[in-house]
C-alpha cells in the first residue's frame, strides 16, 4: 500500500486548487509545497509510530478526530473561514504530535523549497495533516496499534523516494540515513586506523632498539668468555716465569700486556661497534616514533580544527538566533513597563541576562472566560508585550503551551487548553503581526500540574499558558 500515492490521487489535486485560492498563493507553489509536506508528515508519523507508546498516541488522536466532510474538500473550503479553521485546528494538533518543536524548521524549509510565504506554508501543513491522518485511520480501523506500526513500517521506501532534499535532515528522520553520522563514523575509523598504525610503528621501532641492545650484550658476553681465561693463563705463565728470572718475567709481562691490550682493544672496538649499532637503532626508533608522533599530531590537529569549525558553526547558529535584531523595535522595548513576574518580564530578563537559565515563561495575568478560549481583553496586554519582544528579535521562535486543572472531562480539557493556546497565537499574529510560522501551539489539558488540584488556589495555578523559546 502506497499512502503517498493515494494522497496524491485523492487529495493533492483538489487541495491544491482550494488552498491556493484561500491562501492567495500560486497553484504551482502550493503543489510543490505539498510534495514536501506529505512525505514529511508521513515520515514523522513513521518515526513516532515505531514504538508501541507512540503508535498508541497516534491511534488515540485518530480516534478523537472529526472526519465529517473529509471526503468533500471543496465543501470544507466553501464554508469559508470557519470550515477551514476547524480543519487547521485539527491539523495543528496532529503536527504537534508528529513533529513537536521541529515543525517550525520544517515550515521554513518548505517555504524556501516552494516559494510560499512562511505563514502560508504553516497553514498548508495544518490543512494537509488531517487528510493524511484520516487516510491512515481508514486503513488501520479495528487493527489497533500493532496494525498501525505494520502499516507505517511499510511506507519507509516510499517516503525515502518522495522526500525532497534537506527536509529529512531538518526533521531528524533516522530511517532516511544520516549522512553526517556516516562522515563522523568514517573519520573515527580513519583516526582509529592511524592510531593502530602508529602503535605498530612505535612497537616495531622499540623492538628494533631492544634487539640491537640484546645483540650487543650477547656479543660482549661471548667476548668476555675468552678474555677472562686468557687473562688467567697469562697470570699463571707470568708467575712461573718469575721463577726463572726477572728478564723472562719482563718479557712475559710485555707479551701479556700486548695480548691483553689487543684483547681489550678488540673488546673496545666490539663495544664501540655495538654501541654504534645501538645508537643507530635508537636513532631509527626515535626517528620512526617522531614521524608517527608528527603524523598523529597532524591528524589530531586536523581533527581538532574540524571539531573547532563545527563547534564554531554551532556557536554561530545559537548566537545567530539573536544576532538579527530590529533596532527600532528593540528601542521600543525600553518604553514598555513590564509587570513583575509577567511572561514578557521573564523573557526580557532571560535575553538581557545572556540567554541563561530557564527559557520557559508563564503568563501571570492572562485570563480567559470560564470554560472558553476567549481572552479577557483587560489582560491581553501581556500577550502584546511578548509580541514586542518577538518584533525586536525577528528570528526567535516560540512554543505556546496550554494547561487546565483536573476538573471535568480530560479530553475536553485537552481541547480547551489547545484552543486557548491557539487564541494566544491568534492574538500574536492578528493584533501584532507576528508570523505564524514562528509560533507552535500545544494543549496538554491537566498534565504537568505545577500545584495541587485539591485547593482552589492550586487549580488556579494549573490553569495557565506557558511560552517557551525554542529557537
pTM of this structure? 0.42
Backbone angles phi, psi at 244, to 5 degrees: -95, -10
Q: State the pLDDT at residue 177.
A: 62
Angle formed at CA 16 by CA 431 and CA 64, multiple of 5 degrees? 70
Q: State the pLDDT at residue 371.
A: 87
Task: Report pLDDT digits (tens) over 222-276.
Answer: 444 555 555 445 444 444 444 444 444 344 444 444 544 454 455 445 444 544 5
Q: State the pLDDT at residue 411.
A: 87
Q: Which of 20, 44, 162, 89 is nearest to 441 (CA)?
A: 89
Question: Domain-by-domain residue ranges, the chain?
Answer: 3-176, 181-322, 327-469
Query: How many beta carbons lie within 10 A of that of residue 422, not counting itself?
Result: 22
Q: In whole angstroms, give the CA distance from residue 469 to residue 351.
A: 10
Mean of pLDDT values over 391-405: 92
Q: Does residue 422 sit in helix, strand or coil?
A: helix
Among the residues of 154-245, which ranges form H helices? 156-162, 167-171, 179-244
Q: In whole angstroms, give the CA distance from residue 58 to residue 46.
A: 10
Cell readout for 470 is 525554542
DSSP type of residue 368: B
Query: How many beta carbons lie within 10 A of that of residue 369, not counting itself?
Result: 9
Q: State the pLDDT at residue 78.
A: 84
Q: In whole angstroms, give the CA distance from residue 9 to residue 150.
A: 23
Q: In whole angstroms, give the CA distance from residue 322 to residue 355.
A: 9
Task: Report pLDDT digits (tens) over 135-158.
Answer: 999 998 888 889 999 999 999 999
Q: Which of 7, 315, 292, 288 is nearest to 136 (CA)?
A: 7
CATH superfamily of 327-469: OmpA-like domain (3.30.1330.60)
Q: How many CA atoms lie within 13 A of 426 on its CB side?
A: 13
- Between the alpha carbon of residue 440 and those of residues 116, 348, 414, 422, the distances in Å are 18, 20, 16, 9
Query: How many beta carbons lie within 10 A of that of residue 199, not counting itself?
Result: 11
Cell readout for 21 is 485560492
- Between the alpha carbon of residue 8 and those of residues 13, 128, 150, 229, 320, the distances in Å are 7, 11, 22, 103, 38
| H or E element that contains 460 | helix 456-462
Q: In whole angstroms, give the CA distance from residue 444 to residue 399.
A: 13
Q: State the pLDDT at residue 262.
A: 52
Q: Determine the distance from the C-alpha atom of residue 41 to the mean position of all C-alpha atoms in its chain, rounded to a whole number.
A: 20
Q: State the pLDDT at residue 211.
A: 54
Task: Report pLDDT digits (tens) over 405-455.
Answer: 999 988 899 999 999 999 999 999 988 889 988 999 999 999 988 889 999
Task: Report pLDDT digits (tens) over 299-335.
Answer: 444 444 443 443 344 333 334 445 578 888 888 888 8
Q: State the pLDDT at residue 324.
A: 75
pLDDT at 277 over 60: no
Amino acid at each position: 500500500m502506497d499512502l503517498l500515492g493515494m494522497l496524491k490521487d485523492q487529495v493533492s489535486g483538489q487541495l491544491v486548487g482550494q488552498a491556493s485560492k484561500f491562501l492567495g498563493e500560486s497553484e504551482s507553489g502550493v503543489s510543490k509545497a505539498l510534495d514536501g509536506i506529505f512525505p514529511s508528515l508521513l515520515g514523522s508519523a513513521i518515526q513516532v509510530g515505531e514504538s508501541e507508546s507512540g503508535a498508541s498516541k497516534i491511534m488515540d488522536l485518530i480516534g478523537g478526530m472529526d472526519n465529517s466532510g473529509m471526503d468533500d474538500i471543496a465543501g470544507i473550503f466553501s464554508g469559508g473561514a470557519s470550515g477551514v479553521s476547524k480543519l487547521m485546528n485539527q491539523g495543528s494538533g496532529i503536527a504537534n504530535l508528529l513533529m513537536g518543536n521541529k515543525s517550525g524548521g520544517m515550515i521554513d524549509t518548505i517555504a524556501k523549497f516552494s516559494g510560499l510565504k512562511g505563514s502560508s506554508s504553516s497553514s498548508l501543513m495544518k490543512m494537509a495533516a488531517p487528510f493524511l491522518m484520516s487516510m491512515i485511520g481508514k486503513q488501520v480501523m479495528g487493527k489497533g496499534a500493532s496494525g498501525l506500526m505494520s502499516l507505517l513500517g511499510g511506507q519507509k521506501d516510499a517516503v525515502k523516494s518522495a522526500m525532497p532534499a534537506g527536509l529529512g535532515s531538518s526533521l531528524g528522520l533516522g530511517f532516511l540515513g544520516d549522512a553526517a553520522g556516516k562522515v563522523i563514523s568514517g573519520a573515527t575509523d580513519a583516526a582509529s586506523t592511524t592510531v593502530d598504525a602508529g602503535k605498530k610503528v612505535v612497537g616495531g621501532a622499540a623492538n628494533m632498539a631492544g634487539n640491537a641492545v640484546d645483540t650487543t650484550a650477547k656479543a660482549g658476553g661471548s667476548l668476555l668468555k675468552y678474555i677472562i681465561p686468557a687473562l688467567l693463563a697469562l697470570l699463571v705463565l707470568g708467575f712461573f716465569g718469575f721463577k726463572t728470572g726477572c728478564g723472562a718475567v719482563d718479557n712475559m709481562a710485555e707479551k701479556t700486556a700486548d695480548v691483553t691490550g689487543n684483547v681489550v682493544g678488540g673488546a673496545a672496538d666490539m663495544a664501540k661497534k655495538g654501541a654504534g649499532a645501538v645508537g643507530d637503532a635508537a636513532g631509527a626508533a626515535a626517528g620512526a616514533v617522531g614521524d608517527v608522533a608528527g603524523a598523529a599530531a597532524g591528524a589530531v590537529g586536523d581533527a581538532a580544527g574540524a571539531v573547532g569549525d563545527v563547534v564554531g558553526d554551532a556557536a554561530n547558529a545559537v548566537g545567530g538566533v539573536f544576532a538579527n535584531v530590529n533596532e527600532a523595535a528593540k528601542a521600543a522595548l525600553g518604553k514598555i513597563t513590564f509587570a513583575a513576574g509577567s511572561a514578557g518580564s521573564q523573557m526580557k530578563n532571560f535575553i538581557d541576562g545572556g540567554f541563561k537559565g530557564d527559557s520557559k515563561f508563564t503568563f501571570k495575568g492572562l485570563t480567559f472566560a470560564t470554560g472558553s478560549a476567549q481572552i479577557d481583553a483587560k489582560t491581553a496586554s501581556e500577550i502584546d508585550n511578548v509580541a514586542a519582544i518577538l518584533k525586536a528579535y525577528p528570528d526567535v521562535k516560540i512554543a505556546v503551551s496550554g494547561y487546565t486543572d483536573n476538573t471535568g472531562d480530560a479530553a475536553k480539557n485537552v481541547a480547551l487548553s489547545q484552543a486557548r493556546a491557539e487564541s494566544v497565537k491568534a492574538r500574536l499574529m492578528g493584533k501584532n503581526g507576528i508570523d505564524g510560522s514562528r509560533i507552535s501551539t500545544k494543549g496538554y489539558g491537566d498534565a504537568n500540574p505545577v500545584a495541587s488540584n485539591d485547593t482552589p488556589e492550586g487549580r488556579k495555578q494549573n490553569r495557565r499558558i506557558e511560552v517557551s523559546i525554542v529557537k
